[in-house]
Amino acid sequence: MSKRANVFYLEHARVMVKDDRVIYLTEFKGGVDRAFNIPDRNTAFLLLGKGTSITDGAARKLAESGVIIGFCGSGGSPLLSAVDVVFLPPQSEYRPTEYMQNWMGIWTDDAKRLDAAKFFLNRRLDITLDAWDCDPELRKVGAQISDVLERDFRSKIKRATDTGQLLSAEGTWAKELYATLARAFKLDDFAREEGRKSRDGVPAIINSFLDHGNYIAYGYAAVALYALGISFAMPLLHGKTRRGALVFDVADLVKDATVMPLAFSMGTQRAKDQDFRNALTESMQKAGVVDTMIETIKQTFEKAR
């Protein structure tokens, strides 16, 4: 699953099977329908936006190929005030059992779960540092993560004795990253406003891109967890009763590295939603985020032994 190349987002289309192939139909000028193939064996997940439908035959064939189907709002990722993305994981193929069993061994042990959460946060930091160092747009504006900020975050992770302290350290880290990017892009009035309409102008665009990009990251995280057969109900940091909790933990591994910088760089350019979405999915594909997520989870098992 982690090696699959394609993520599809469709609007105003009908997904169906024709000649034993999964295709989608869209209407072009003059009322003529055109068909496009969906390479189901090389697709990780399929998002269906407004005006879409899918036949039972297409759902069955996608399930056989292990493709996750998600219904979503306009633009591929609804705001928090809209309907949540609803994933339809195929049930005709069983997932591996070893990873879920190993995860249970970590999750039910308080000490191991805390160590795993610390490992996730350290990996998140490492992934972010590597990505920022290689980002030409960030180098151009002089956006760098200071050694002081890195040492402070690592120190807080190491000293933490419970999840609350880790969440506090995480919150401070994210706040400092926003401040770093705001200074670099000369946005003195930027404030993170999640899940609601913010002020007009560039800050509003950036906040919209951040929300949008985070939902896309959640989709990749859902794919990684599905591939390993691990339930999203057993998180390391997010609330145990929060829907999709572990999805958020896994998505956080890459959000600082991919979503945040791109939201600022394209937001200041007043880019369109479609352009941001295209750039983000391309960036995530190049970075191999699903591979990163899956490998981090597997490494967590090794650390817990």
Name the residue among 56, 66, 52, 64 with its Cα closest to residue 24: 52
Whether 146 and 201 share a structural domain? yes
As a whole number of angstroms, the distance between CA 11 and CA 51 comes to: 6
Whether 184 and 126 share a structural domain? yes
As a whole number of angstroms, the distance between CA 110 and CA 116 comes to: 10
Give helix 163-184 / helix 260-267 axis angle, nearest 10°: 30
Residue 45's alpha-carbon distances to 9, 71, 89, 211, in angstroms, are 9, 11, 9, 19
Place of tokens 């956006």: 143
Last residue of a domain, one of 88, 121, 155: 88
What pLDDT sits at residue 246?
Answer: 93
**Coil, strand or helix: which one is 34?**
strand
Last residue of a domain, one of 35, 62, 88: 88
Whether 119 and 221 share a structural domain? yes
Amino acid at 257: A
What pLDDT sits at residue 57?
Answer: 93
What pLDDT sits at residue 88?
Answer: 65
Give helix 273-287 / helix 202-228 axis angle, nearest 10°: 40
As a whole number of angstroms, the distance between CA 302 and CA 305 comes to: 6
Whether 225 and 280 share a structural domain? yes
**Which residues, listed in sequence order, are joined to residue 35 by a DSSP beta bridge?**
25
| Domain ranges, residue 175 | 98-304
What pLDDT sits at residue 302?
Answer: 85
Domain membership of residue 34 (yes or no) is yes
Give the pLDDT of the chain (305 residues) as one tens digit per residue: 567 777 888 888 999 999 999 999 987 766 667 899 999 988 888 888 888 999 999 998 998 888 888 887 766 554 333 344 456 666 666 678 899 999 999 999 999 999 999 999 999 999 999 999 999 999 999 999 999 999 999 999 999 999 999 999 999 999 999 999 999 999 988 888 875 555 568 999 999 999 989 988 988 898 888 888 898 889 999 876 666 789 999 999 999 999 999 999 999 999 998 899 889 988 998 899 999 999 999 999 988 77
Whether 165 and 75 share a structural domain? no
Last residue of a domain, one of 59, 88, 117: 88
Whether 141 and 171 share a structural domain? yes
As a whole number of angstroms, the distance between CA 256 and CA 225 comes to: 20
What pLDDT sits at residue 61?
Answer: 92
Strands 6-10 and 68-71: unpaired
Whether 138 and 212 share a structural domain? yes
Whether 275 and 138 share a structural domain? yes
As a whole number of angstroms, the distance between CA 278 and CA 161 comes to: 41
Whether 261 and 289 share a structural domain? yes
What pLDDT sits at residue 82?
Answer: 36
Whether 42 and 123 share a structural domain? no
Q: Output helix, strand, coil percentages for the chain, rounded to the nearest 5.
A: 55, 10, 30
**Which residues, listed in sequence order, are joined to residue 14 by a DSSP beta bridge?**
25, 53
- pTM attached to this predicted model: 0.78
Name the residue among 185, 175, 197, 166 with its Cα closest to residue 256: 175
Whether 104 and 60 share a structural domain? no
As a whole number of angstroms, the distance between CA 61 and CA 64 comes to: 5
- Total number of domains in the chain: 2
